[in-house]
Chains A and B, each alone.
Chain A
């Protein structure tokens, strides 16, 4: 369980999930977040293939015949009357991002430590807002980002198929 500072103590920027991009030749996907306030900024987070799939299902509001893992989490929360207030990506250590899920039940708030992929997957399914702390934005790993941007530039210059999901 995380003991993340409350959002009033941390300066937060609201983000939205833009899309999930396939990384060719690897078992990872890239979760791309964009700022809600419209300022140009793409925030990519490398996640596992299964986690990427779970986010894609929520983004596309795909109905699966059986509940997927994050649907089950949502179902638990509905049964227990727990809601997701917000998700905050509030820390980064050794290129690993840390998220905190803020929960509420009858006025009782709890925070749970999570990987950003799980936190985002749940936020999308519960329509909870997603924030990134300014601290994380300042400290994020730009090496990965630059590499990724270079790749994106290559892609758009070639006539390869567009991977945009939205």
Chain B
């Protein structure tokens, strides 16, 4: 089973000096926080805000290469969580064949946003990552810790 996830927000985690991409399912029952680095957070935030940088950023370049050969990103699936490392698969369609490529969720999400492709999470990942943990963490946050992207 997989569940479609939506990007709820991107925020700064001052305790770990990292960023958190928060994915949430349609009805808000499941939350999936993914810790990412500064550069990856920047790549996601640019796509979220529809910022067109003067020069192609790394994920724009990535998409240009796929576009050059008319390869299309169909979907992204967050497949596993292992010792706080998330694994994702990018599903590509190219010349009537489907390809599955291993990726970090941050790259996969940055690319999905640029390709208007849906992001899914495997049920097992959602079960492993109890949302209680995130809620507890959120409670400890001060309002100013939230970035402008959080809605």
Q: Specify which of A70, A110, A115 is in contact with B68 (CB 8 Å cutoff).
A: A110
Can you name the residue of chain B whose Cβ is closest to the Cβ of A84? Answer: B65
A145 within 8 A of B: no
B39 within 8 A of A: yes
Interface residues of B in 96-138 (CB under 8 A from A): 99, 101-104, 107
Known pairs A67-B104, A118-B58; A112 contacts B64 (CB<8 A): yes
B58 touches A80 (CB 8 A): no
Interface residues of A in 111-145 (CB under 8 A from B): 111-115, 118
Can you name the residue of chain B whose Cβ is closest to the Cβ of A117? Answer: B58
A69 touches B101 (CB 8 A): no
CB neighbours (8 Å) of B15 from chain A are none
Interface residues of B in 19-65 (CB under 8 A from A): 37-40, 42-43, 54-59, 61-62, 64-65
Q: By the criterion of a CB under 8 Å from any partner CB, how many residues of chain A are at the interface? A: 33
| Shortest CB distance A76–B (Å) | 6
A149 within 8 A of B: no
Known pairs A50-B39, A73-B61, A113-B56; A67 contacts B102 (CB<8 A): yes
Q: Roughly how many angstroms separate A111 CA and B64 CA in the complex, as a whole number?
A: 9
Known pairs A50-B39, A66-B85, A67-B103; A76 contacts B58 (CB<8 A): no
A79 touches B107 (CB 8 A): no
A82 within 8 A of B: yes
CB neighbours (8 Å) of B68 from chain A are 1, 103, 110-112
A50 touches B66 (CB 8 A): no
B74 within 8 A of A: no
